[in-house]
Structure 1
Amino acid sequence: MMLRIARRAFAEIRADCAARAPEEACGLLLGRDGRVESGLAAANVADERLRHFEIDPAVLFAAHRGARSGGPAILGCYHSHPDAPAFPSRLDTERARDAGWIWLILGQDGEKAYRVVANGPIHGRFEALVVQEV
């Protein structure tokens, strides 16, 4: 399986994550036909932003409204692990409930993408994707 992401969008996501370190950055992956066309940065409203992320619900609701009005679909989310590898944490796994959603994680060892599945090889919830910039 592959995640196709626009070069410009990937650059913006990387910049967002770098700017918000040492806190975890987060946002949404927006696009069409399975291709990420843009990242929508969101405030991290988690109590412990140095170790966890929670996307601002107002941003999520606005993105859903935009998609229903003909805008890009929400394909998933991104977040950073400033002090850890780009691998889903135990909490990431517990919160990954939307089958088909893409999780792009930017960690100390680079960027890796995962798709939420019912029974995957990674903590039972994720399957790894190959990231392709287009």
Structure 2
Amino acid sequence: MALEVSSVVIDRLLVEAERSHPNECCGLLFGATDRIESSAPAANVHASPQSHFEIDPQALVDAHRAARNGGLRLVGYYHSHPNGIAEPSATDREMAAGDGMVWAIVAAGRVTFWRSGDAGFAPLPYEACPR
């Protein structure tokens, strides 16, 4: 079954990646296990933002707090690869928790989706939905 992703989210990720180039952008994805309804940018607090990302921890705390108060559930993360490769890097594979979260990677004008699991990343087919 394909992941459903709001076309608005896809457009936002592409614009944000272009705006932050040559740095990596990053942020959060919200919705349900099989659906991405919304996204929120976060500050990239990594010391080397041109080649790495680290989501501002406060953005994560705020997202979990909002979900507990009835907001959308945090279901994943996104970041860009200014090098143009839209697949998990060695660093991404090393840092992933294997927790089933969705990762979106933006590169070269496209977005790919992946699920982090015990065996690493699995590509997620997706359908853009008008919303």
Runs of 4+ displaced beyond 6 Å: none
Which 10-residue stretch deviates more, 4-13 or 62-71?
A: 4-13
Partner of 2:125: 130
* 1:45-124 correspondence runs (5 A): 45-108=45-108, 110-119=110-119
TM-score, with normalisation over the residues of structure 1? 0.91
Stretches of structure 1 lacking an aligned partner (at least 5 in a row) = 120-124
Paired amino acid for 2:125: V
**Runs of 5+ consecutive residues of structure 2 not aligned to the other structure:** none
- TM-score scaled by structure 2? 0.93
How many residues align? The count is 129
Matched, 1:9 2:9: yes
Contact 1:86 1:109 in 2 (8 A): no
Q: CA 1:95 to 1:44, structure 2 compared with 1: closer, same or farther past 3 Å?
A: same
Q: Distance in 1 between matches of 2:97 and 2:41?
A: 21
Is contact 1:97–1:116 with CA below 8 Å preserved after alignment?
A: yes
Aligned partners of 1:10 and 1:39 also within 8 Å: no
Partner of residue 122, structure 1: none
Change (3 A) 1:17 1:109: closer
Q: CA deviation at 1:109?
A: 6.5
* Superposition RMSD in Å: 1.3
